[in-house]
Structure 1
Amino acid sequence: MAAEEAGVVGRAPVCLCVLCGLPAAGKSTLARELLSTAARRGWRAGLVPYDDLIPEQAFQTRVLEDGAKLQEMHTEWKLHRQAVLRCIEQFLEKPQALAEMQSSCQINIAAWERCIQALLQPEALDRTQAERAPLLFLLDDNFYYPSMRYEVYQLARKVNQSRSEPIPTEVILEMVKRLESPNPQKNSWEAHSISVNTTAKLSECDIQSVMELISSALSNPLSPVEDNTEQTEADRLKCATSVVHQADQACRRLISEAMKTARENQVPPEHMRSLATQLNESKATFLQNLRRQLLQEASFTQEEDIDVERVVKRAVDVFDRERKEILSTITNENK
């Protein structure tokens, strides 16, 4: 994803390269090779390792929890990720204005300084060469949701690691389920994507392929962002309505199943009425929260198709757990 930065960081082209993949998949090794190759080409290149920039507590989302607590942690984690992109944007606007960063409280400033040191003082380049040399950011993170990668794409348009602690196996397995690989056929904004097999030693051909992709992005910068606020809001409302409707239908089926189970367990009529009331109140609250979450946090545009079925399934799983708890409580009271 490239953006031409006229009059901000010289007149040099800028490329934001997303390294997407599972933990320990070889992204950091690939990044080191790309940094070395970029330096030989006379480019300014820097690595942006999210694990170093984002405070450790924000990564507690790796602990699989349920309900409101998980949502709260997810929101905080998302804010930290957005802070990283703001730092990149601020650097492109004012490379020397490190002290003015508004997002300093949400990232590790020392780690950020290390990220941009090579960009501010590139070796073997005089000032004139440095101002015109292509500028490459390698963003090293999992980026397993398309929406994460789309935020980088939006930034590109707007501006026209060795791991100290091993990640638990169950966390990686959960991320395997969530990882949605770049899909240029579905998302046009992921056209500049390439997959690299890192199970074996990286070959010169692998590095060359990635560098050619980056060179192509630098030569074809993205068009500036258009003001399509009204369309975005319309898309957001349409998608939220669809998700909530399908979730409502799924919740109704789950409630019917719960009532059937209660009857089979010979739950008394008065407790059946209590069960129905609790389940319907729970459903109403769940759908209200889901709709608010979709309208406030989700990012839907004409260029990014959301997997509605996948979103509905994840959301309904939350309600299903609460449904089972309510049913279990009522059933146990009558044993």
Structure 2
Amino acid sequence: MAAAEEADSIGQVRVCLCVLCGLPAAGKTTLARTILRGTAQHEWRSTVVCYDDLIPDHAFQSRGMEEQTHTEWKLHRQAVLQCIEQFLKNCDVSTDLPVSCKINCTAWERCIQDLLEPQSDNAPLIFLLDDNFYYPSMRYEVYQLARKYSLGFCQVYLHCDLESCTSRNQSRSKPIPAEVILDMSKRLEAPNPQKNSWETNSITLNTTDHFSDSDIQKVMELLSSALTNPLSPVEDHTEQKMADRLKCATSVVHQADQACRRLISEAMKTARENQVPPGQMRSLAAQLNESKAKFLHDLRTQFLQDVHLTDEDVDVDRAVKTAIHVFDSDKKDILLRAMSDYT
């Protein structure tokens, strides 16, 4: 109910949050400028929310390339979405921003100034979010905001080869280190509707060469579709959330259990080949099974306690592989001790 009331406060104006993602120098800013001309022809109010302009340089410098944690950089990213949310509630450039919102306020005012032009109070609003968005979790935060207020949501992934991005970057007035682009290219996870159902409304453009009229047409059709088909607001179904987490945890733990059994079997085979006595073999098997039981218990607890987790948000195969590394390390230590004791 609360989400519905907040959605009503935005009014009847159609709004779309469009994520532009890809490597640095893939052409996101150039595409955004071109889209602005297209939206003007449709008499839509639109703006480019450029994260590089809004987030202070020191925050980018401190981000590193680690997994998403509650760093200062992540808080700045969340602040950008807070600003968009505040604007949607008030549609006023003078609205006080959240105290924790440490973004470039001058850049933000420039960003939304065009949205306040008296073209038409009912003209659709288009926010073009210009950032790398290399992790799905970054894009999912935008999706959550769109769903909270029943907004349109879509994604445009700009696919450009590493060599072209690196070359373009060097011609910039303020190029970023080449190693940052290289590292990001290894970590970038493009939108994948097959894996993440919430990424269904996405298109991919090959931007190694120049944009074509067909590319721009595809983007305009995507925006129009997103405006026409806004997301449904979030409903707080605690029982369903728990069921989703349980389903996810069960899937991960089941696959991890199968992998652990194989690892234990391999360890026992290695022990036999090294002629470990029967008594030692029984002890080894007991230790390995005890370690497996504790590992699976901890893994299940971890997944059930993650309040943000659903089976749609998790790459199960990847989660299993990551978890199994932990057990495999323990298995090797137990086997090594058993063989050392026998020797």
Give secondary structure in 2 for the equivalent of 1:224. Answer: coil
Shift of 1:15: 0.8
TM-score (normalizing by structure 1): 0.72
- Looking at structure 2, the residues matched to 289 and 36 of structure 1 have their Cα atoms a distance apart, in angstroms, of 54
Comparing 45-54 with 311-320, greater Cα deviation is found at 45-54
Larger radius of gyration: 2
Does residue 320 in structure 1 map to residue 328 in structure 2?
yes
For residues 110-144 of structure 1, the C-alpha deviation after alignment (integer angstroms, 9 at most, x for no partner) is: 2x65245321x228x64x33744432222334445
Does residue 154 in structure 1 map to residue 144 in structure 2?
yes
Q: Tell me which stretches of 4 or more aligned residues in structure 1 moved more than 6 Å.
A: 268-271, 332-335
- Asked whether the equivalents of residues 236 and 299 of structure 1 are also in contact (C-alpha less than 8 Å), the reply is yes
- Asked whether the equivalents of residues 5 and 14 of structure 1 are also in contact (C-alpha less than 8 Å), the reply is no
Among candidates 114, 117, 122, match of residue 122 of structure 1: 114
Matching residue's letter, 1:135: L
- Asked whether the equivalents of residues 54 and 80 of structure 2 are also in contact (C-alpha less than 8 Å), the reply is no
Shift of 1:209: 1.6
- Asked whether the equivalents of residues 34 and 211 of structure 1 are also in contact (C-alpha less than 8 Å), the reply is yes
- Asked whether the equivalents of residues 53 and 107 of structure 2 are also in contact (C-alpha less than 8 Å), the reply is no
Q: 1:260 to 1:57 in 2, by over 3 A?
A: farther
Does residue 311 in structure 1 map to residue 311 in structure 2?
no
- Looking at structure 2, the residues matched to 181 and 281 of structure 1 have their Cα atoms a distance apart, in angstroms, of 40
Matching residue's letter, 2:265: S
Matching residue's letter, 2:87: F
For residues 275-315 of structure 1, the C-alpha deviation after alignment (integer angstroms, 9 at most, x for no partner) is: 556645553443344323322334326xx375433432332
- Looking at structure 2, the residues matched to 51 and 296 of structure 1 have their Cα atoms a distance apart, in angstroms, of 37
Give secondary structure in 2 for the equivalent of 1:196. Answer: strand
Q: 1:16 to 1:259 in 2, by over 3 A?
A: same
- Asked whether the equivalents of residues 264 and 288 of structure 2 are also in contact (C-alpha less than 8 Å), the reply is yes
Question: Which residue in 2 is equivalent to 1:45?
Answer: 47
- Asked whether the equivalents of residues 15 and 125 of structure 2 are also in contact (C-alpha less than 8 Å), the reply is yes
1:1-335 superposed matches below 5 A = 7-8=9-10, 11-38=12-39, 41=43, 43-49=45-51, 53=55, 55-56=59-60, 59-60=63-64, 62=65, 74-76=68-70, 80=75, 82-94=78-90, 95-96=92-93, 99-101=96-98, 103-104=100-101, 108-110=102-104, 114-119=107-112, 121-122=113-114, 126=117, 128-129=118-119, 131-143=121-133, 146=136, 148-160=138-150, 164-168=176-180, 171-172=183-184, 174-175=186-187, 179-183=189-193, 189-266=198-275, 279-280=288-289, 282-297=291-306, 298-300=308-310, 304=312, 306-324=314-332, 327=335
RMSD: 4.0
Shift of 1:164: 2.3
Question: Which residue in 2 is equivalent to 1:70?
Answer: none
Comparing 239-248 with 139-148, greater Cα deviation is found at 139-148
Give secondary structure in 1 for the equivalent of 2:119. Answer: helix
Q: 1:36 to 1:314 in 2, by over 3 A?
A: farther
Gaps spanning 5+ residues in structure 1: where?
64-72
Question: Which residue in 1 is equivalent to 2:155?
Answer: none
Shift of 1:234: 1.0
Gaps spanning 5+ residues in structure 2: where?
1-5, 151-168
- Looking at structure 2, the residues matched to 329 and 310 of structure 1 have their Cα atoms a distance apart, in angstroms, of 30
Shift of 1:270: 7.8
Shift of 1:219: 2.8
Question: Taking every aligned residue pair, what percent have the same amino acid on both sides?
Answer: 55
Shift of 1:247: 0.9
Matching residue's letter, 1:300: T
